[in-house]
Amino acid sequence: MVKSLPPRSEISIEETWNLESLMASPEAFDATLEEIDQETAAYAEKFQGQITDAQSALEALEAYLTIAEKLVAPGTYVSLSYSTDQTDTKAQMRAGKYSAFSAKIGSRLAFVTSELLELPEDTLKQAMSESKEFEGYLKKLLRKKPHQLHPAAEKALASYSSVFQAPYELYNTTKMVDMDFPDFEAGGKSHPLSYVSFEGDWEAETDTELRRAAFKAFSDKLRDYQHTTAKTYDMQLQTEKTTADLRGYEDIFEYLLFNQEVDRTLYDRQIDLIQTELAPHMRKYARLLQKAHGLDKMTFADLKISLDPEYDPEITVEESKQYINDALGIMGTDYLNMVERSYDERWIDFAQNKGKSTGAFCASPYGDHPYILISWTGRMNEVFVLAHELGHAGHFYHANREQNLFNARPSLYFIEAPSTMNEMLVANHLLKNSEDPKFKRWVISSIVARTYYHNFVTHLLEASYQREVYKKIDAGENVNAGVLNELKRGVLEEFWGDDVEVTEGAELTWMRQPHYYMGLYPYTYSAGLTISTQVSKRILAEGQPAVDGWIGVLNAGGTKTPVELSKMAGVDITTEQPLRDTIAYIGELIDELERLTEEIEQQN
């Protein structure tokens, strides 16, 4: 039974993460900002106007790296504190204070990049040859040279950084603070509703009347805020378009893909191939769900239900440890030690409470350990969610240890490969340990419904919609709620065809996703899962050599491009073959679900 969410103050400390290694107290946070303020002022006094040759460039970068490392802890502390309870006034004010402080420091230090890029290219190349530590940083900096503005303009833009972040913060405030969901009626009873309970429970509720009533109530509340949310999103889009034009990019897509270090062909291929070639497989899956549940029709509100609800057992946090350890054991003792510590040292926030961010994420601050946010409902599929976030944790546990701060983070295009890899390892482990057709069907349906549906369908349809939005913005247009609703409904109807009725309210799904405030992020989920699907097959076939190769990829962090990292892992993403193979694999899984269902029905 879904219950109303308690305030954060009533949550047991064992369910929460421990942020003390980041910042011992709010007072320590204030003291840290004061220290950084003084240190950056002294840095500017020493280096501004003095970066004139390779030696002074490297000296300035060495001290700059130290400051950048010190900024990590307070920034992460305010973000994580706020994410667990966005109704907390003190956390709100602290986040606002840091945002303004960060803008001030960014403006003060903007001269570093400007002065480096004013040096002759030969001087920068000399610095690169003399310092392996900063070679990667300077190489990426040189790529940006054509898009660098006058130093005064760069300083001014840095001063406005907190303003540029405002749409995302406004979106979260609307979603997590102002939006209050009333109870809804179904089956003659009243039921509580919230963002967390809808996405964690009601979407997967097996009682059709309850599930569809929850969807309607949820959508009705979203609709009340559609115009404010659309205006907030348009502010974000116009800022991105202005920045792209100001910096001389060909279009907004080139600007947003630039830091991902991939070209437009990889982006478009990921969307186009999945839209056309995965759709028939997923429509077959939708028909299978409809038949299994005896539904009068298949609607958008029914797509998250389990194929076999009886095989969706509840699981405690403590019980999840064994599944995670057994599945990820192939990654080695060092990796498993990281997993063990994440439970024992409270790196994970499991609580469900009012004001907590929806979904799940992993933050991996340099110089500290990773932190994972999840709202644990006790459903077995959350083992996959936790494994996913531990994949991010394991990635940066390795990369942060092996690389400096400037080299640790890879392109956004690759960021979801290590996370989805862990989901594949969980699935492979579970499949390997049972021949029971009902259990096998449950595992495969979990792979399809959780791993592939979430990453290949949900996020890909977001990406397809997002591309249409950006096309309008690139053409000099604005968007409002009506335009966004129409675009979202069009993408959903194209993908699902006549097999799924796109329920009224489904068009408002664009309001639920914070990824739209993070550039071209949604498509990278399917990109990462394409890579991890192929690597997980290698691990199954080759064992330890493939694992060792994958650990090497994690260690490399951001020192290589997505294409180079993928090749290290044995996958060539410059061709469409890995994506076609992955789509074919999803089709095979759905065919196997049909076969197992027939076998089970014959036995009964």
| Structure confidence by residue, pLDDT tens digits, 234-265 | 999 999 999 999 999 999 999 999 999 999 99
Rounded to an integer, the average pLDDT of 111-130 is 96
Question: Regarding beta strands 184-186 and 348-349, do their DSSP bridges make them parallel or antiparallel, or are they unpaired?
Answer: unpaired
Confidence of residue 436 (pLDDT cuts 50, 70, 90): confident
Predicted confidence (pLDDT) at residue 483 exceeds the cutoff of 70: yes
Q: Is 211 exposed, middle or buried (0-12, 13-18, 19+ CB in 10 A)?
A: buried
In angstroms, the CA 37 to CA 102 distance is 10
pTM assigned to the model: 0.89
Confidence of residue 2 (pLDDT cuts 50, 70, 90): low
In angstroms, the CA 18 to CA 41 distance is 32
Determine the pLDDT at residue 138.
Answer: 96
Question: Minimal CA–CA distance to 140: which of 48, 260, 246?
Answer: 260
What's the chain's average pLDDT?
Answer: 94
Determine the pLDDT at residue 455.
Answer: 83
Confidence of residue 1 (pLDDT cuts 50, 70, 90): low
Confidence of residue 589 (pLDDT cuts 50, 70, 90): very high
Determine the pLDDT at residue 359.
Answer: 83
Rounded to an integer, the average pLDDT of 390-419 is 96
What percent of the chain has a predicted confidence (pLDDT) above 70?
99
Confidence of residue 443 (pLDDT cuts 50, 70, 90): confident
Least confident residue range of 15-29, 341-355, 450-464:
450-464
Predicted confidence (pLDDT) at residue 572 exceeds the cutoff of 70: yes
Question: Regarding beta strands 348-349 and 371-373, do their DSSP bridges make them parallel or antiparallel, or are they unpaired?
Answer: parallel
In angstroms, the CA 463 to CA 21 distance is 37
Predicted confidence (pLDDT) at residue 152 exceeds the cutoff of 60: yes
* Collapsed DSSP state (helix, strand, coil) of residue 186: strand
Structure tokens at 292: 């299994």
Determine the pLDDT at residue 377.
Answer: 85
The string of pLDDT tens digits covering residues 534-553 is: 999 999 889 899 999 999 99
In angstroms, the CA 448 to CA 279 distance is 13
Is 355:89 a contact under the CB 8 Å cutoff?
Answer: no
More confident residue, 43 or 311: 43
Determine the pLDDT at residue 482.
Answer: 98
In angstroms, the CA 171 to CA 524 distance is 22
What's CA 343's distance to the chain center, in Å?
21
Q: Spell out the SS3 assignment of 338-393.
A: HHHHHHHCCCEECCCCCCCCCCCEEECCCCCCCEEECCCCCECCHHHHHHHHHHHH
Query: What is 12-73 written as a DSSP string?
Result: -GGGS---TTT-S-HHHHHHHHHHHHHHHHHHHHHHTTT--SHHHHHHHHHHHHHHHHHHHH
User: What residues contact residue 382 under an 8 Å CB cut-off, 6+ apart?
Assistant: 315, 320, 374, 376
The string of pLDDT tens digits covering residues 158-197 is: 999 989 999 999 999 999 889 999 999 998 999 999 988 8
Determine the pLDDT at residue 542.
Answer: 92
Predicted confidence (pLDDT) at residue 382 exceeds the cutoff of 90: no
Confidence of residue 268 (pLDDT cuts 50, 70, 90): very high
Domains of the chain: 8-164 (1.20.140.70), 176-312+379-604 (1.10.1370.20)
Predicted confidence (pLDDT) at residue 347 exceeds the cutoff of 70: yes
Predicted confidence (pLDDT) at residue 97 exceeds the cutoff of 60: yes
> Would you state the torsion angle of the CA atoms of residues 7, 9, 11, 14, taken in this order, to the nearest 10 degrees?
150
The string of pLDDT tens digits covering residues 297-330 is: 999 999 999 888 777 678 899 999 999 999 999 9
